[in-house]
């Protein structure tokens, strides 16, 4: 069994990944609901009323504008994509939470692979939310690379000492 490796930073990264997974599951179910209700705008307005949100909110109206143009098939595809990403984030977050070494590698690779896309999106349509996400993902990747390299060096030192012993 692997030794527990749950530092505060790893736990924070795990929580971040699990929150992202939960949000994506919500978006996925929301997209499925919109796909099967037929009237996207009315469904979104019921959602806003149920959660006592401001129906004149700029973000809400942007979501209505973008989503109302999607047909049933596109909403189902959006749902499938968000569930897939949610699954990846769930595996990463759970693995990190349990202190699994493989999860550090997986998170480094998966999160690092999104950075070029995030940079492209940031250039195309800059926003504070995108900048924050890009920054956080960059910090996560840098921290995990630093951590993995340090562990590899620390592991190599005892191996060299063992080889040098008579």
> Cβ distance 28 to 79 under 8 Å?
yes
Give the helix/strand (H/E) hosting 13: helix 8-37
pLDDT, tens only, 64-117 = 777 777 788 888 999 999 999 999 999 999 999 998 999 999 999 999 999 999
pLDDT of residue 62: 76
Average pLDDT over residues 113-124: 94
Cα-Cα-Cα-Cα torsion 49, 53, 56, 57, nearest 10 degrees, comes to: -150
As a whole number of angstroms, the distance between CA 131 and CA 109 comes to: 20
pLDDT at residue 131 is higher than 90: yes
3-state secondary structure of 50: helix
pLDDT of residue 158: 64
Mapped to the 3 state alphabet, what secondary structure does 117-149 carry? HHHHHHHHCCCHHHHHHHHHHHHHHHHHHHHHH
pLDDT, tens only, 40-73 = 777 777 777 777 777 777 777 777 777 777 788 8
């Amino acid at each position: 069994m692997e030794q527990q490796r749950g530092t505060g930073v790893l736990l924070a990264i795990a929580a971040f990944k699990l929150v992202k997974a939960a949000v994506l599951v919500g978006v996925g179910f929301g997209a499925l609901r919109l796909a099967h209700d037929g009237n996207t705008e009315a469904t979104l307005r019921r959602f806003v009323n149920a959660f006592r949100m401001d129906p004149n909110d700029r973000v809400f109206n942007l979501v209505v504008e973008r989503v109302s143009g999607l047909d049933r098939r596109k909403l189902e595809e959006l749902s499938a994509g968000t569930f897939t990403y949610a699954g990846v984030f769930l595996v990463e977050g759970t693995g990190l939470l349990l202190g699994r070494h493989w999860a550090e590698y997986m998170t480094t690779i998966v999160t690092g692979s999104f950075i070029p896309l995030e940079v492209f999106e940031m250039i195309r349509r800059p926003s504070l939310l995108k900048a924050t996400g890009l920054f956080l993902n960059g910090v996560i990747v840098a921290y995990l690379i630093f951590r993995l390299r340090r562990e590899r060096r620390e592991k190599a030192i005892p191996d060299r000492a063992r080889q040098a012993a008579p």
